[in-house]
Amino acid sequence: MLADLSLNIWALSIVKALGLGYPPTQLVFLRAMVGLILLAPWLWRGRALFGRIEDKAIHMLRVALSIITLTASFYAIARLPFATFTAMNFTRPIVTMVLAALVLRETIGKARWAAAAVALVGVVIAVNPDALPAGNGLPALALAILAGSAAVIATRRLRAAPTLVLMGLYTAGLALFTGPVAALSWQPIAPGHLLPLLSIGVFAQAAQICFLRAHFHGEAGFLSVLGYLSLIFSGLVGYFVFDEVPTPAFALGAALVVAAALSVSYGARRRRAPEA
C-alpha cells in the first residue's frame, strides 16, 4: 500500500512540475498509451474475456467519467498546492455517499449527513477560496471529485465484470477518446521532458497493480486508514519540492475532512460486517 501511495505521488509530482506546459488531454493520452502498452501481454492472454462483455453502456459511461476525472485532475494539480489537492480528494467518500443515495437509492443516516457537513466545513477552512488567485484550478478539482465519485458508482454497477476487463476497457478507452482531442492541441515535447512524461503512465499503472495486490493480501479497514498517509506525503513533497508551506488553518480543515471521511468509511464497513 505504501508503494501505491508513493507511486501515485511521484506521478502527480511530475504532472504538477510539467503540467502547465502541456494540455491536460495530452498528459492523459500519454498516461493511457503507456498503461496500455504495459497491460498488453495480460490483455492478449485474457482476450477471450472481452468477447462476452455485458453492460456496455455502463462501461462507456465509466470511461467517459474517468476521462473527465483525469483531465480535470491534471489541470488542477498543476495550479493548486499539492496538499490542498490531496485534502480535497478525501471528500470523495462523502460525494460518493451522496451520489449512492441519489442514484442507487442507498439510505443515508443522520450520522453520515453530519459527516458530510463536517467535511464541507473542513474544505472551506483548508482551501480558503478567497485567498487563492484567479485560475487556481479549484473548479476543475471540484469537477474531478464529482466525476470520479460518479465513476465509483458506475464501477459498483459493474462489480461482476472481471478485473482485467475493467482495467483494459478503462485504459484503452482513455487512449482512444483522448487521442483526437490531444492531437488538436498537441504541444511538442521538450527532449528533457519525454522520459518524465512517459513515467507518469509507468508510475500510475504500477500504483494500480500495487493497490490491487495490497487489497488482495491486506485487510481493507487497515488499508483505507493507511491511505490517509498520502496527505502527509503530499504535504512533505509540496514543502520540500514546490516550496509550499501549509498554514494552521489548512491543518485544521484537513483534519476535519479526514475525520469525516474516516467516519463514513468506518460506518460503511460496520454495516457490511456480518452480525455475530
Closest Cα partner for 101 from 264, 270, 254? 264
Cα 137 off chain centre by: 16
Read off the C-alpha cell for 84.
490542498
- Give helix then strand counts, H and E, for the chain: 12, 0
273 falls within a domain: no
| pTM for the full predicted model | 0.82
CB count, 10 Å around CB of 83? Answer: 26
What is d(CA 128, CA 100) in angstroms, rounded to the nearest whole number? 28
50 falls within a domain: yes
**Owning domain of residue 109:** 2-268
pLDDT band with cut points at 50, 70 and 90 for residue 215:
very low
CA atoms within 13 A on the CB side of 191: 0
pLDDT of residue 270: 57
pLDDT of residue 14: 93
Domain count, the chain: 1
Does the structure show a pLDDT above 60 at 212? no
274 falls within a domain: no
275 falls within a domain: no
**Low-confidence winner among 39-43, 152-156, 181-185 (lowest mean pLDDT):** 152-156
